[in-house]
Amino acid sequence: MAQLLHTMLRVGNLERSIEFYTKILGMKLLRQSENSEYKYTLAFVGFDEESTGSAVIELTYNWGTESYDHGNAFGHIAIGEEDIYARCEAIAAAGGKVIRPAGPVAGGATEIAFVEDPDGYKIEFIQMSSAEKGLG
């Protein structure tokens, strides 16, 4: 059966991004590789390895590129969480940026929150008790 392996994000400062995803979001640095010929470094972060069925995030640093135009097509990455309220408090206490506090979605009962990584990518947290029901 096919499996979603990872989502790739281009980042402007690899160390800063690794610190955010590991120390603030609680993921693990799974592996890292450097390609000096083509001048890029990859770091894979996640809550577990792809071999367990878990999807991960590939952070790509193209040497010398400090920022990217995100355009208007990409929306966010979603993460299921047992307690999004406590998670947002912990993220804020660790210096993370909570851009939409935890609470019900507009016009519905699903509880969500949004944070932003150092490069401006949005990460949605969805209360696990309603994650599979869809928004509403």
Structure tokens at 132: 């599979």
Across the chain, which distance is largest between two alpha carbons, in Å?
52
Q: Tokens 């059966």 correspond to what residue? A: 1
CA distance 52 to 34: 25
Contact present, 44 and 6 (Cβ < 8 Å):
yes
- The torsion angles phi and psi of 81, rounded to 5 degrees, stand at -140, 140
- The torsion angles phi and psi of 20, rounded to 5 degrees, stand at -60, -50
Query: Could you give the residue numbers annotated as active site?
Result: 124
